[in-house]
Structure 1
């Protein structure tokens, strides 16, 4: 039986600009190429989970511009239920400008219609939340909506995964309702604020656990990921060595895979292992959604691993 996952988050059109290096402040340089990809952390994670075999519903918003229908159609082709994505009149769809230097990236996000994903949208879709196994949420929609969605999910006793990107200060009340939080190393530092300068990884993770989060899964790029639960030792999951083409969407791929694996009943450690493999495959291709692998791709990758 397919795991049921509801993703609440953003949909963006990604503008990918490739150059040999990033420009310095005040400098103009010539780029190498420009490409358009469908993206947004919410949509990316929805596609990642769907391609692995989950039954995915996306709750979000697009503008009534030329990108809005296209963003929904692309999700539909990946078997994502788009019936809960609304179109906001007079608003542009979300846009992400991604500067790519070799395999490294810098990203600027324009919220657009994503800022209009509201508590009312959560109320309208409470039946879908109630019927889900996993609720997966990010921070590219209003914080008020995130808080409301997490609270509703917990009233239905659903497992909530919060990907705190882009990172911002979160209340203890919100963190206490989150089952699993998945920051990257930069987001972990921002979540635990600048007063903890000099704290190590473990201490920062403990700060989140002390606030009530049940599980902290931190991704650290090419070094893999680490996991810790309350009163347990830190567990390290090394990254898989693959040729890196584009890291855009790797974190989203990880989160979608984590939700899929937990939804089908994997232990959290097994889910992290699958997520690591899935994210490793994603960095070998350009784009975010276009790079998300299928479960067959992951199984083929596993056959070729040197254990």
Structure 2
């Protein structure tokens, strides 16, 4: 069983070749269900999966709740706060500006809620966590999962959330930061190979995959590092969700006990290229 502990939001994405400052820019604007945790959960390719989240009350929350399927296994209701919203401005396929409001999730996924959700987690399962979880509950959750001997995959989400989560991270199967999020994890140290390897050793992290967008990714583990280049570079108006899809493919592969991490990683990279090419 794969347990995903993460947020669900409304995603509002504006796309343009160029946003003009101090005025409104004609854009293609999409509205959809999103959130790092929900995106990962939705893309995982196994029926043996479970989503743990929290959702507020209000106009946006009602819209989200009306779109959810009945297989959301654990939904904490948070009164008085509306659903989270992610707002992004994509300029020529790159994130120009982004903002997120996840208060309902942050408040709802407290230690008491997590303890209740953890009753269904057992040794041999796999957990996916993301940095929208506040540091206190995150530390509590990681400690409990370590005691249960459940491998954990962690998504850093953003620079600010990576920074606030950094002190909590230890005993992990995988962390998947961007280069900028890696800087935030290590601050005030710089993200040199030496500092990254020290981080892995000190925190007992098996694998760390730094994603570099069109430049590919770098896989770090105790044995060394390996650069992974994309087979082709795509020009897209919107690459939103690619990182979440990547983590979902990794989780899917790692839930198959017979597969090595290397095999799973290269397969996930190929799957993301297919995912992105469908948008080109």
**TM norm structure 1:** 0.81
Following superposition, the deviation at residue 63 of structure 1 comes to: 1.4
- CA displacement at 1:244 relative to structure 2: 3.8
Structure 2: give runs of 5+ residues left out of the alignment.
none
- Identify which of 120, 126, 129 aligns with 1:137: 129
In structure 2, C-alpha distance between the alignment counterparts of 1:233 and 1:61, rounded to whole Å: 39
Residue 61 (str. 1) matches residue 54 (str. 2): yes
Find 1:10's aligned residue among 7, 12, 15.
Answer: 7
Query: In the superposition, relative to structure 1, how do residues 190 and 133 fare at CA in structure 2: closer, same or farther (>3 Å)?
Result: same
RMSD: 2.2
Gaps of 5+ in 1: 292-307
| C-alpha contact (below 8 Å) 2:123/2:150 kept by paired residues | no
Residues 1:281 and 2:271 are matched in the alignment: no
Structure 1 residue matching 2:170: 3-state secondary structure: helix
Deviations 1:155-176 (A, max 9, x none): 110001111222214455x333
For the residue of structure 1 that corresponds to 2:136, the secondary structure is helix
**CA contact under 8 A between 2:215 and 2:229: conserved in structure 1?**
yes
Aligned to 1:181: 175
| TM-score after normalising by structure 2 | 0.89
The separation in 2 between residues aligned to 1:31 and 1:129, in whole angstroms, is 48
In structure 2, which of residues 170, 173, 187 is the aligned counterpart of residue 193 of structure 1? 187
The answer to which structure has the higher strand fraction is 2
- Whole-Å separation in 2 of the counterparts to 1:242 and 1:217: 19
Counterpart position of 2:75: 85
Please give the alpha-carbon distance, in whole angstroms, between the structure 2 residues aligned to 1:188 and 1:39.
23
> Displacement of 1:207 after TM fit?
3.1
Alpha-carbon spacing, 1:73–1:211, altered in 2? closer, same or farther (3 Å): farther
Q: Indicate which of 23, 33, 46 corresponds to 1:28.
A: 23
Q: CA deviation at 1:127?
A: 2.5
Residue correspondence of structure 1 range 1-307 to structure 2 within 5 A: 4-24=1-21, 27-49=22-44, 52-72=45-65, 74-76=67-69, 81-105=71-95, 106-116=97-107, 117-130=109-122, 133-166=125-158, 167-170=162-165, 174-196=168-190, 200=192, 202-212=193-203, 213-230=205-222, 232-241=223-232, 243-245=234-236, 246-265=238-257, 266-284=259-277
CA distance in 1 between partners of 2:147 and 2:218 (Å): 29
Compute the displacement of 1:110 (Å). 0.9
Cα distance, 1:56–1:89 mapped onto 2, change above 3 Å: same
Q: CA deviation at 1:75?
A: 4.8
Runs of 4+ in 1 over 6 A off after TM superposition: none
* Number of equivalent positions: 272
